[in-house]
Structure 1
């Protein structure tokens, strides 16, 4: 058995790398083992279509990383190591069938003026939200940025009651528990305004009627208005490259193409790992698994020794899947709703709350949605360096889709195998974009379609193409992510910890779970 690491981390996603950086800074020697050939998990950039066209494989938005506690601690060093953000002042927009559009930008009065074009009452509601946001954000970001432990969150609740009073605190709690539809219909009267903000719930697992989803459209719209958005200069992998450099400088190692077959544990204690080729490696202080709960059970050969914990991990619920379409283009889409849309980082095609709800239910039922929600990313509008001069890339998330196809809601596609269906279904999505941006198809130089099962093959944490590594519904969020009593990554096996997007605070590029665990193990 090989010896040599204080901590072994399974998986090289953003949470793993952040965890390794902090432990390395505290003097731990860390080894990271990744089954894929490229580190980064969902955060990586590849030439998927044509030479010189750099496509973000899954994650594109690095705003959570830029605003995280981890970046506050290590951002200066990572910047010296090459991490560079490309800021977007025109953050996101939605296009509608009637040729209208609405977008959120940081310019003074820009967003308000657009909202007023739909409803002056809604513009006034937006003013109120913007005015209240700093005070609200202080507590919401504190909630999301701290470990989910009762004594920590209890102090936060007491602080809110003391400083803001019971009524304000109760309203905040109601926001955290509300569905997107409830909050949006209470706050705005325009269906277009509601739909534009509700689209952000679909980035996670929150269709309009899912309780607990209101906070995500709220936070994304307010944060975009106040701070803007950032993507990675040259690609999202600018973050991964800098993290790898920092880990190496601390004496750590990242091994790709090395699948971990199991965690070695005897007498209720984890002592190392065994690779797929039979190599055994010891860990003196900790084994950290950045895996989905089902994956953790596989690493433990089906049992941790605690039947109740094992049942919780086995029953962990995943969100519907996502399909990715990557396009190399001669030019940006010519949006018929307005030339200004070419400057936005994201353009959503999600015309109504009811359509989003229908799409979600179809995907949950195993059907290919007749009209999926499309998140059309235009990274080269923000960062031209990702493509040859004058050319562009388009990053399209098709949300939601089933991991296992049982049928087609439109009654047009008869196949049920993603390997044969994905190109045909991609045609449906591109046809939807073409309706809003005539001539798109003629601009396509290259195309790569990534099915939900392709995503899972590359990263087993994305079960069925679930890009958020587990549903964020209330029954599986906050204290219950991934299960009650384990939101800090604790497992029944001494020395074994779980981290990643399946653990509080969940999905995104903020590296919250990995950084919190590293601070718990190595000290602040």
Structure 2
């Protein structure tokens, strides 16, 4: 048996980031991962042919690059090999009518492309981009706040103080709206709407799912303002760097080590028991990076002690699964809509809001 200050169940990027932070604060973290490799959905492997490295799940590292964690530990991450690949031509959509639209970090290029579909939409785009820095301050503060009544109330108060009642209501409506509601209210071109709506689909918010409007807004405005960031050599550059930080600071990462149970004493998590029978203790915390139902339905055999929390975890519903197909090609696609599409990091085939809604339902 080993003793740690904190034990992590699962070695996804969130667990690794938390463990790295605690390790640099003097804690001794232990991370137990049931798979043979760490990283969760952030992995880069040769899935097709030798030499073709594919990002297993996550590819876009823009939020990580712009996070408070990266700002705080940029030097430590770089020392462990973290490298980004900035992208100027971020995302685009090709349409059945032979046209295309794409967002680059050059405002004049993007606005000109929009104007080819709608002059009014081009003007709207410029207005949104100009207002984005102020709006982003409130949105990122809200998205980064602890989910407590006190923290949310403080964020709401700050929003009201800076934007007034009307401005605060506009932000609230954006957060509650579906992608379709916001896009149809904001843009007149179906092509522009469809291109932006793809960023609702990425986190499983189809056009008509409430609460999804913020994702097309944030991704499109952030890409326009800052460009996109990928991982040099693959998205797993962040996993290699994070795991290096953990081990350098004295933490331990164990693979092929499935946690079967979180042990509890006097209402407090005290450690874990592995499927192999091994037990390990934690003097300060056990942090589980697992699906909600796995926590209260499996790892905590007798529940958390909070009946309301346990019920909510067991009733949690996942969004539909996502299929990914990896291809090994001898060249970039020869896009009928335009050769310029070969320069974009993402090219979506999403002809309309209705088509995306049908795909989600099916």
Assess same fold via TM > 0.5.
Answer: yes
Paired position in structure 2 for 1:267 = 266
Aligned to 2:105: 106
Q: Quote the offset at 1:292 in angstroms.
A: 0.7
The TM-score with structure 1 as length reference comes to: 0.68
Is the partner of 2:342 in helix, strand or coil?
helix
1:188 & 1:198 partners in 2: Cα distance?
12
Partners of 2:290 and 2:302 lie apart in 1 by 14
Q: Which residue of structure 2 aligns with residue 334 of structure 1?
A: 334
2-structure distance, mates of 1:4, 1:76: 29
Report the Cα distance in structure 1 between the residues aligned to 2:162 and 2:271, rounded to whole angstroms.
47
C-alpha contact 2:107 2:224 (8 A) present in aligned 1: no
Tell me, yes or no, if the aligned pair for 1:46 and 1:54 is still in contact at 8 Å.
Answer: yes
Aligned partners of 1:248 and 1:38: how far apart in 2? 15
Q: What's 2:354 paired with?
A: 354
Is 1:92 the counterpart of 2:91 in the alignment? yes
Give, in angstroms, the shift of residue 83 of structure 1. 0.1
Separation of aligned partners in 2, 1:307 and 1:164 = 39
Gaps of 5+ in 1: 363-524
Separation in structure 2 between the aligned mates of residue 168 and residue 267 of structure 1, nearest angstrom: 48
Q: Which residue of 1 aligns with 2:141?
A: 142
Give 1:164 shift.
1.9
Task: Name the structure 2 match of 1:64.
Answer: 63
- Once the two structures are superposed, residues 168-210 of structure 1 have per-residue CA deviations (whole angstroms, 9 ceiling, x without a partner) of 1111111111111111111111100110111110011211111
1:409-428 paired onto structure 2 within 5 Å: none
CA distance in 1, matches of 2:115, 2:101: 10
Cα distance 1:108–1:214, how it changes in 2: closer, same or farther (>3 A)?
Answer: closer
Q: Is the 8 A contact 1:180 1:213 kept in 2?
A: yes
Secondary structure in 1 matching 2:211: coil
Shift of 1:324: 1.4
CA contact (8 A) 1:10 1:33 kept: yes
Give 3-state SS (helix, strand or coil) of 1:270's partner.
strand
Q: Aligned-pair distance for 1:302?
A: 5.3
Trace 1:133-172 onto structure 2 (pairs within 5 A).
133-172=132-171
User: Distance in 1 between the 2:129 and 2:235 partners?
Assistant: 29
Q: Determine helix, strand or coil for the equivalent of 2:5.
A: strand
Q: Equivalents in 1 of 2:37, 2:48: separation in Å?
A: 17
Tell me what 2:224 maps to.
225
Q: What's 1:315 paired with?
A: 315
| Kept in 2: contact 1:261–1:276 (CA 8 A) | yes
**Structure 2 counterpart of 1:193:** 192
**In structure 1, C-alpha distance between the alignment counterparts of 2:308 and 2:218, rounded to whole Å:** 35
The within-5 A match list for 1:283-432 is 283-297=282-296, 298-301=298-301, 303-362=303-362
Judge conservation of contact 1:15–1:290 (CA < 8 Å) in 2: yes
Separation in 1, partners of 2:90, 2:148:
34
Residues 444-463 of structure 1: per-residue CA shift (max 9 Å, x gap): xxxxxxxxxxxxxxxxxxxx
Deviations 1:79-119 (A, max 9, x none): 12100000110000011000000000012401100000001
Preserved contact between residue 232 and residue 239 of structure 1 (Cα < 8 Å): yes
Structure 2 CA distance for aligned equivalents of residues 127 and 305 of structure 1: 52
CA contact (8 A) 1:69 1:145 kept: no
Query: What is the aligned-residue RMSD (CA, Å)?
Result: 1.1
Residues 231-289 of structure 1, C-alpha deviations (whole Å, 9 max, x = no match):
10001111111111110111001101111111111332211111111011111111111
Does the Cα contact within 8 Å between 1:263 and 1:270 map onto a contact in 2? yes
Matches of 2:152 and 2:305, distance apart in 1: 30
For residue 329 of structure 1, give the secondary structure of its aligned residue in structure 2. Answer: coil
Q: CA deviation at 1:5?
A: 0.6
* Separation (CA, whole Å) in 1 of partners of 2:47 and 2:180: 37
Q: How much has 1:160 moved relative to structure 2?
A: 2.1
Partner of 1:276: 275
Distance 1:160 1:305 in 2: 35
Q: What are the Cα deviations for residues 327-374 of structure 1, in whole angstroms up to 9, with x where unaligned?
A: 111001011100010010001111101111111111xxxxxxxxxxxx
Q: Which residue of 2 aligns with 1:13?
A: 12
> Contact 2:8 / 2:287 at 8 angstroms: preserved in 1?
yes
Q: What SS does structure 2 have at the residue aligned with 1:38?
A: coil
Deviations 1:366-408 (A, max 9, x none): xxxxxxxxxxxxxxxxxxxxxxxxxxxxxxxxxxxxxxxxxxx
Task: Name the count of aligned residue pairs.
Answer: 361
> Displacement, 1:29?
0.3
After TM superposition, the runs of 4+ consecutive aligned structure 1 residues lying more than 3 A away are none
CA distance 1:164–1:303, shift in 2 (3 Å)? closer
Check the 8 A contact 2:262/2:299 in 1, yes or no: yes
Report the TM-score, using the length of structure 2 for normalisation.
Answer: 0.98
1:70 Cα offset (Å): 0.7
The offset of 1:153, in angstroms, is 2.5
Unaligned runs of 5+ in 2: none
Secondary structure of the residue aligned to 1:165 is: helix
